[in-house]
Amino acid sequence: MSSATFNKIFQSANETKCRYRVMLGSAGSGKSTNVAMDYILKLSSPEYAGCSLLVVRGVEVAHLNSTFAELTGAIDRLGLNSIWDSKLNPLTIRNRTNGNSIIFRGCSDQRAIERLKSVSVPAGKIVWVWLEEATELKSTDFDIIDDRCRGKLPERHFYQLTLTFNPINSGHWIKTQLWDYESPDIFKHKSTYLDNRFIDEGYKARMLRRKELDPEGYRIYGEGEWGEVGGLVFPSVTIGDYKDKEFEQYTLGTDFGFNHSHATLLIGWCDGSPYVIREVVVTEKTTGEIIELCNKADIPKNVLMYCDSAEPDRIKEFKSAGFKAYPVSKEKNSVSNQIAWLKNRQIYIDGRCSHTQKEIQAYKWRKDPTTGEYMDEPVKFNDDCVKALIYGCEPVRKQTRIKSMEKGALGLW
C-alpha cells in the first residue's frame, strides 16, 4: 500500500453518495487532486467493478494538462501503476483488472456535444462524471450529461456528478441551480488553500500578496467566496482547439517573472485576431531554466519575440539562446491603449494553454475602494499572461496604425 494521503477536509465529500457533489473553493485547495485520487481508489476497488468515469471540461484538449495529468498522477501517488494503463490518443485510462475506464470529453461545440452524447465504454456503465472547472459549462451541457446518468444499477452502485470549480461569478447557473438549491440529492463542499496541507510557502506568500493587491480576487481565489458578476476586462474570450489551424503570421510575447509567473506565449494571427496557441508559464525559475522549457515547448526561434523592456539582461539571455527577443517600446498610456486595441477584436485561446485561459477569464478592472465603481485600470495582479499577450500584439498593433497612415506593408516579421 502506498503512503499517499488525503486532505482531511475532503473526507465527507469522498464518502457521500449524493447524486450531485458540488465542490467549490479557492485556488489550490486540493479539490482536483482529491477528486482524482478518490476516483482512482473507487475505480480500483472490486466493489465498483463495472463502473466507469466520464471527465468533462469546456474544451476537450484541456484534459491533457489537467484532469488526465491529475488522474495519472493519482495512480502514481497511490502506487497503482501495475493495474492501470493510460493512452494518449485518444486519451483513455483503463483498469487492467476490472475493465473500468476513464474517458475524456468536451462540450465546446455541436460536434463535441454529439461525441459527449454518444460516449460509451467497453465494459459496464458510466456511473460517475467529473465536471472539472465546471463554470466553463453551460447549464444545457450539464442537463445533457445529467440525462445520460439514468437506468437501473446494481444495488451497491450509484450515479454521481462531481463539479469542481472556483466560485467566479455569483450570477452563474451553478449557484442558482445547485449551490443555493436545497435538496437531499445535493452535497455541497467548500475548501480553501488553508485546508490543503500540501501547499508550499511560496504559494501562501503569493496569496497574501494577492489579498493586498487584489482584494476582490482574493475573495474568490483565496477565500472561496462567490465573486461579483461584473468587471471583467475581456468578458468574451473564445476557447478552442487550434492545433491544426492555419495562420497568416506568428508573434511571441514574453513577460518576465520569478516570484510571480514568467509567461511566454506563441500567438497565431488570422483575420486580425490573435490566437494564443502555446504557452510557457512557470514560477520561481531562472532565465536559464525558462529557456530550456521554451526549447522543450518548441517555442520558435524564427518568430519575433516582444518582451517587457524593464529587464534588458533577461532579453539578452534570450537573444544569446537564439530567440529573436526585443524590448517593447513603452509609450504614454500604453496599457490602456493596448487593452482598448485588444478589446476591439476577438481573442482566441487554445484549450491547451490552461494558464492563459484561467488568467484572462479572471482579469478584472480595478475597483475604486471608496466609491465601489470600476475604474479604467485593470487589477495589477495575476496579469502575467495578459502582459505577454499585450507585448506579443505590439508589432501587429503598431503596424496597423502605421499602415493606415502610409499604405504598404512593413514586413515586421
Ligand X SMILES: Nc1ncnc2c1ncn2[C@@H]1O[C@H](COP(=O)(O)OP(=O)(O)O)[C@@H](O)[C@H]1O
Q: Where does this chain bind ligand X (CB under 6 A)?
A: 6-7, 25, 27-34, 196, 198-199
Q: How far is the CB of 383 from Mg ion (least distance, A)?
A: 20
Q: Cα separation of 333 and 328, whole Å?
A: 14
Q: Cα separation of 130 and 407, whole Å?
A: 53
Q: Which regions of 107-166 does DSSP assign to beta strands (E)?
A: 125-132, 160-165
Q: How far is the CB of 35 from ligand X (least distance, A)?
A: 8
Name the grid cell of 109. Answer: 461545440
Q: How far is the CB of 362 from ligand X (least distance, A)?
A: 13
196 binds, among Mg ion, ligand X, none (CB under 5 to 8 A by kind): ligand X
Give the residue with the Cβ less far from Mg ion, 32 or 357. 32
Give the residue with the Cβ less far from Mg ion, 60 or 132. 132
Give the residue with the Cβ less far from ligand X, 34 or 169. 34
Contact 381, 210 (CB under 8 A): yes
28 binds, among Mg ion, ligand X, none (CB under 5 to 8 A by kind): ligand X
Tell me which residue has its CB nearest to Mg ion.
32
- The bridge status of strand 348-350 relative to strand 101-106 is unpaired
Name the grid cell of 303. Answer: 518568430
Q: How far is the CB of 34 from ligand X (least distance, A)?
A: 6
Q: What is the 3-state secondary structure (H, E, C) of 225-283?
A: CCCCCCCECCCCCEEECCCCCCCCEEEEEEECCCCCCEEEEEEEEECCEEEEEEEEEEC
Helical H runs in 92-136? 110-117
6 binds, among Mg ion, ligand X, none (CB under 5 to 8 A by kind): ligand X
Q: How far is the CB of 32 from Mg ion (least distance, A)?
A: 3
Give the residue with the Cβ less far from Mg ion, 227 or 395. 227
395 binds, among Mg ion, ligand X, none (CB under 5 to 8 A by kind): none
DSSP state of 178: I
Q: How far is the CB of 321 from ligand X (least distance, A)?
A: 29
Q: Which residues bind Mg ion (CB under 5 A)?
A: 32
Grid cell 496604425 — which residue? 401
Q: Cα separation of 49 and 52, whole Å?
A: 8
Give the residue with the Cβ less far from Mg ion, 30 or 257. 30
Beta bridge partners, 103, equal 54, 92
Give the residue with the Cβ less far from ligand X, 49 or 194. 194
Q: How far is the CB of 213 from Mg ion (least distance, A)?
A: 22
Question: What is the helix (H) or strand (E) element at residue 140, kind and residue range?
Answer: helix 139-148
382 binds, among Mg ion, ligand X, none (CB under 5 to 8 A by kind): none
Q: Cα separation of 194 and 175, whole Å?
A: 23
189 binds, among ligand X, Mg ion, none (CB under 5 to 8 A by kind): none
Contact 32, 69 (CB under 8 A): no
Give the residue with the Cβ less far from Mg ion, 32 or 169. 32
